[in-house]
C-alpha cells in the first residue's frame, strides 16, 4: 500500500485500519503505528490529522506504536476509562473515555520524548519562515502554544508545537507538525484568528482545565521534509494586561534552559552537545513579556528585523 | 568543598580527553565525557581547567601559582579563590589525582 493523505481515504477504511492496527501515521521524521478502537479518538484522528500522510497495511516499519485502550477489562464497560499505551510501561493516570483524544496526544508525546534517540529533543514549539526557525520555550501556561498558533496564521510554518527536534548529524530542526494543543483562554483566542472550523471540540474538566486542538495544515505537512536552522530562541511570558517587553538573555542561560527541558539530551550525550553547540552558533535568545497576541506578534516581527548584536 | 579528602602535596591533573569545550562569547560550554553532563564556565573557571590540563600540579602549586597563569598579581586571585575553582572542578569530576 502506498502513502496517501488521510482525507482521501474512505472513512470506514480509516476506522477499520485504526481498529486493526494497520494504519501508520507518517509525519515528519516519524512513522507511528496506531491501534485505536475507541470511536471518539478515531473521529478525532480523522478530523485533526486529515491532511496527514498515512499508509494502510502492515508492511511499513514504524518508529513507534501507539494504542489507546481501557486500563483493564472492568473499565471497558463500567465508568469507562482509557490510557495511552506507547508500547512500554508508563504509569499514565487513566482518563474518562470522553477524554480519549487527550490520551492519544499524550501518548504520541511520550513516544517522541521517551523513545526517540536519533534526534535531541527539547520541549519547545518551533515555527519557521523559509529556513529560519524560531524556538519558543515556555513553562506550562506561559503562552507557547498560543504564540505558536498565532505565528502559524502570520505566515510561519509549524515544525512542532511540543518539541524542538534537533538532528544530531547536521544540527537542523525537523518538523513534526501535529495538532497544536490549546488550553483554557487560549482556545477562544486561537479560534478568533484561526477560525473555529480549524479547532477541535473542547474537552472540559481535564487535569489541565479545558483543552482543544488546532488542526494540522496541508502546507505544514507538505513542508515537513524541509529542515530549518534556529535563528532565535524565545522565552515568552503572557501576563494579562502587561506592556510589551523584550530582554535579550545570555545564550548560555538559554542553552541550559533548553538542556533542562530535554528528555534525552543526557542519554544521547556527546552528539547532542555537539549538535546543540552548532545550532547555537549565530542564534540570539530573548525573554519576552506581553499582554495580548497582537503585541506578541509585533515583538516577533521586531526581533526578526533586528540586527544581530 | 572537595569531592573527597585532599592534601597540599597531592598532585592533580585534568585530562582534555575527558571533556569537550565550546566557546560562546565569554562563556565556555564544557561537556564532561565521563558524566555526560554539560557545564557553563566563565573565563576564570575555564582558565583553571586549561591550567590543570597543561600538566600535573600539586594542590599547593595550584593555589599559590594559579595567579601567574592568569598573569595577575597574587592579590587579584587569592589562594581561596584558586582553591574554590579547583574544588568546583573536582566536584564535577574534571580533575583526577595522579600522585603521590
Tell me which of A230, A264, A269, A278 to substitute to probe the interface with B (most B C-beta atoms closer than 10 Å): A269
Q: Which three cell numbers stand for residue A36?
A: 485505536
Residues 260-299 of A with CB under 8 A from B: 265-266, 269-270, 273-274, 277, 280
Mean pLDDT (whole number) for A127-132: 94
Which residue of chain A has the CA closest to B41? Answer: A252
Complex-level ipTM: 0.86
Q: Confidence band (pLDDT; 50, 70, 90) for B2?
A: low
Q: Are A148 and A127 in contact (CB under 8 A)?
A: yes
Contact B40 A256 (CB under 8 A): yes
Residues 224-263 of A with CB under 8 A from B: 250-252, 255-256, 259
Q: Tell me the C-alpha distance between A23 and A4, whole Å.
A: 11
Kindly state the helix (H) or strand (E) to which residue A252 belongs, with its residue range: helix A251-260
Chain B neighbors of A270, CB-CB under 8 A: 20, 31, 33
Q: Which three cell numbers stand for residue A64?
A: 513507534
Number of Cα atoms under 13 Å in the Cβ half of residue A11: 6
Q: Are A306 and B73 in contact (CB under 8 A)?
A: no
Mean pLDDT (whole number) for B5-20: 91
Which residues, other chains included, contact A189 with Cβ-Cβ below 8 Å and sequence gap of 6+?
Answer: A146, A293
Mean pLDDT (whole number) for A56-63: 92
Q: Where are the domains of chain B?
A: 17-93
How confident is the model over B63-97, as pLDDT tens digits?
999 999 999 999 999 999 999 999 999 999 999 99
Of A251, A270, A277, the CB nearest to B25: A251
Of the candidates B98, B1, B7, the one whose C-alpha atom is nearest the C-alpha of residue B52 is B98
Mean pLDDT (whole number) for A132-140: 88
Q: Confidence band (pLDDT; 50, 70, 90) for A208?
A: confident
Which residue of chain A has the CA closest to B36? Answer: A269
Q: Confidence band (pLDDT; 50, 70, 90) for A142?
A: confident
Contact A273 B31 (CB under 8 A): yes
| Minimal C-alpha gap between B27 and chain A (Å) | 7
- pLDDT value, residue A35: 96
Of B27, B33, B36, the CB nearest to A252: B27
Q: With 70 as the cut, is the pLDDT of residue A43 above it?
A: yes
Amino acid at each position: 500500500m502506498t502513502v496517501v493523505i488521510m482525507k482521501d481515504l474512505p472513512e470506514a477504511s480509516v476506522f477499520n485500519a485504526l481498529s486493526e492496527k494497520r494504519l501508520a501515521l507518517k509525519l515528519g521524521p516519524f512513522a507511528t503505528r496506531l491501534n485505536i478502537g475507541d470511536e471518539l479518538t478515531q473521529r478525532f484522528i480523522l478530523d485533526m490529522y486529515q491532511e496527514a500522510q498515512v499508509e494502510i497495511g502492515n508492511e511499513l516499519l514504524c518508529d513507534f506504536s501507539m494504542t489507546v485502550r481501557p486500563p483493564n477489562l472492568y473499565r471497558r464497560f463500567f465508568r469507562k476509562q482509557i490510557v495511552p499505551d506507547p508500547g512500554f510501561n508508563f504509569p499514565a493516570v487513566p482518563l474518562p473515555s470522553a477524554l480519549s483524544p487527550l490520551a492519544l496526544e499524550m501518548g504520541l508525546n511520550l513516544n517522541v520524548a521517551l523513545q526517540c534517540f536519533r534526534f535531541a529533543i527539547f520541549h519547545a514549539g518551533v515555527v519557521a519562515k523559509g529556513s529560519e526557525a524560531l524556538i519558543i520555550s515556555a513553562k506550562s501556561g506561559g503562552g507557547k502554544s498560543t504564540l505558536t498558533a498565532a505565528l502559524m496564521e502570520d505566515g510561519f510554518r509549524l515544525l512542532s508545537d511540543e518539541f524542538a527536534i534537533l538532528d544530531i548529524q547536521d544540527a537542523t530542526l525537523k518538523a513534526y507538525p501535529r495538532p497544536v494543543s490549546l488550553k483554557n483562554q487560549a482556545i477562544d483566542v486561537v479560534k478568533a484568528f484561526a477560525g473555529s472550523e480549524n479547532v477541535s471540540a473542547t474537552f472540559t474538566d481535564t487535569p489541565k482545565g479545558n483543552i482543544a486542538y488546532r488542526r494540522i495544515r496541508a502546507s505544514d505537512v507538505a513542508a515537513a521534509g524541509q529542515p530549518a536552522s534556529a535563528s532565535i530562541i524565545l522565552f515568552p511570558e503572557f501576563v494579562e494586561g502587561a506592556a510589551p517587553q523584550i530582554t535579550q538573555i545570555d545564550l548560555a542561560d538559554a542553552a541550559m534552559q533548553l538542556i533542562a527541558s530535554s528528555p534525552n539530551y543526557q542519554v544521547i550525550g556527546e552528539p547532542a552537545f555537539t549538535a546543540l553547540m552548532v545550532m547555537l552558533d549565530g542564534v540570539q535568545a530573548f525573554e519576552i513579556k506581553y499582554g495580548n497576541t497582537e503585541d506578541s506578534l509585533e515583538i516577533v516581527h521586531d526581533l526578526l528585523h533586528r540586527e544581530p548584536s | 568543598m572537595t569531592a573527597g579528602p585532599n592534601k597540599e602535596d597531592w598532585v592533580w591533573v585534568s585530562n582534555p580527553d575527558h571533556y569537550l569545550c565550546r566557546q560562546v562569547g565569554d562563556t565556555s560550554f564544557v561537556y564532561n565525557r565521563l558524566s555526560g553532563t554539560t557545564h557553563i564556565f566563565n573565563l576564570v573557571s575555564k582558565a583553571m581547567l586549561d591550567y590543570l590540563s597543561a600538566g600535573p600540579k600539586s594542590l599547593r602549586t595550584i593555589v599559590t601559582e594559579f595567579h601567574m597563569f592568569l598573569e595577575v598579581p597574587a592579590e587579584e586571585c587569592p589562594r581561596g579563590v584558586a582553591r574554590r575553582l579547583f574544588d568546583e572542578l573536582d566536584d564535577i569530576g574534571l580533575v583526577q589525582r595522579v600522585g603521590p
